[in-house]
Amino acid sequence: MGGIGCGFSIAAAIFAVIGLIPGLGWVNWFTTLPLSILAIALGIIGLLSSRNRTPAASALVFGFVLFFWAIFRLLIGGGIL
């Protein structure tokens, strides 16, 4: 589960970079936030169920960072930009 969470984190990071472009902040609502929440959930499941906890921990940390980055970016742009 941790590896899949890392994949979702990477996808969320790609969309977060796209969401930095002025006028495309709405991308954070539809891609970055849901993908980061999935990465956090899969990271928690991976931490609780697997022996190799490194990918799960990185998915969890990176998911939280991306989640708060997307929230910060949405606050700056008024939720749209």
* DSSP count for the chain of H helices, then E strands: 4, 0
3-state secondary structure of 66: helix
Which among 4, 18, 20 is positioned nearest to 73, based on CA atoms? 20
Q: What is the pLDDT of residue 41?
A: 95
Residues spanned by the domain of 59: 2-76
72 inside domain: yes
| Total number of domains constituting the chain | 1
Q: Considering the entire predicted model, what is its pTM?
A: 0.88
Rounded mean pLDDT, 10-30: 90
Position 81 in a domain: no
Assess whether pLDDT exceeds 70 at residue 23: yes
Which pLDDT band holds residue 81 (cuts at 50, 70, 90)?
A: low
The answer as to whether 23 is a domain residue is yes
